[in-house]
Structure 1
Amino acid sequence: MEPIWARPEQAARGPRPAHSRAAVAAAAVRIADTEGIDAVSMRRVAADLGAGTASLYRYLASKDDLLDLMVDAVAREQPPPDPTGDRRADLRTLADTTRAVMLRHPWLAAVQASRPNIGPGSLRWLESWLTAVDGLGLDADEMLTAVDTVRLFITGAVLGELAVRASGLDMNRWMAEQGSYGDAIAAGDRYPRVAHVMREAKGPHAGDRAERTFAQGIERILDGVVAG
């Protein structure tokens, strides 16, 4: 079967659908945002729309179609930022905006990582990413690698941040739980660099640790991307 983007929203024959693909996607996104991605099913979305499960198959063929619609719906929530011509600044703005969207929809990072999306909204964002690295003297493969490297960092950072949120275990609490074992590592000389970081690093204990870690990490990544 062709991807959902190549299939007409309304079949040539049969009754007119009572809901649009956009409405189906919006219902699924609402469920995922409030209850988690595991709560999203054809039956659950149909119930949210006040429709029968079987009727949902008039809009899409499978749950894979539903996931594609959800990701693209989120991509359409806001347009990509307009390019300024400053490639590094444009990349940073794209990165910050992407992180904010992923944190707003906690299920998104994992779904995007597991299935590339080529819906219209997603393609518009990809075009913006590629525009930001165009002109750096990169060939097509290098452009993709540069963009993928930045986006993989964002995804990894967001997944880590979400995992900490879900656990409720911040760095200070984790360190306290290590007790005398952690103190011995920090005071010992068997792992000198680990001990140095444990004693001197302030970032892990900062209230804005996630923001600091992301900002420092993305700047390092962009150093390499812009340098070619």
Structure 2
Amino acid sequence: MSQSYRGIRVLLLILALNSKTACATLHVRQSPLYIQAKAAGSINISCVLDPAYSENIEGIYLYRKRAENMEYLYFREEKAVVSEMYKARVHVTGNRKAINISISSLTENDTDFYLCAFVKFDSNYNILSFSGDGTFLHVLGPGECLCPAPSVEKVENHIHIAAVIALSIFSFICIVIVVIWLSRKMMKNRTIQQNLSVYEDMKMLSKCTSNTAAQIPKPVA
């Protein structure tokens, strides 16, 4: 399997996972979308909330989606509470409106989809959650090499082309069905017309025969 094909598969996984993320993704800018890193390396994830929604934020969560939505860290009042198994490898800077998360000493087990979620309460004390688009981290295993990350625009273009091709095929099939239906209808109408014509000819012939028979004089007894 080629590296480019593997990259496209990974990006499709990202898109599929994004379709299941929490609401209000337009209010959080999380970057980058995709990271490739070598084992023992380090990466950075940035999460920024739209200023229009930044008031009364209680805290920020970072989740690992594929690991049963496991809570990775919780950030509140400029302090981060990191899960025990990651504490020595995670460093967080920023505030409740924007944070930068650094993860070091990466292993293959860190490969996952990471999602930022800003949490606040509304006037009725209902919990509101604003999440980003997420970041897919791919920690390379032995024998794997770094390759250019597939862009969302390129995949969207492929999807658009596939959609156009599918629509064209569907339209062609519809046209063929309509042509076949019209052809059969025309043949049926032609058959009916021919039957009517034969019936009229037979009716006319029968009428002529009756008139001729009526005109023949009967023999005198």
Using the size of structure 1 for normalisation, the TM-score is 0.24
Structure having the higher strand fraction is: 2
Structure having the higher helix fraction is: 1
Larger Rg: 2
Using the size of structure 2 for normalisation, the TM-score is 0.24
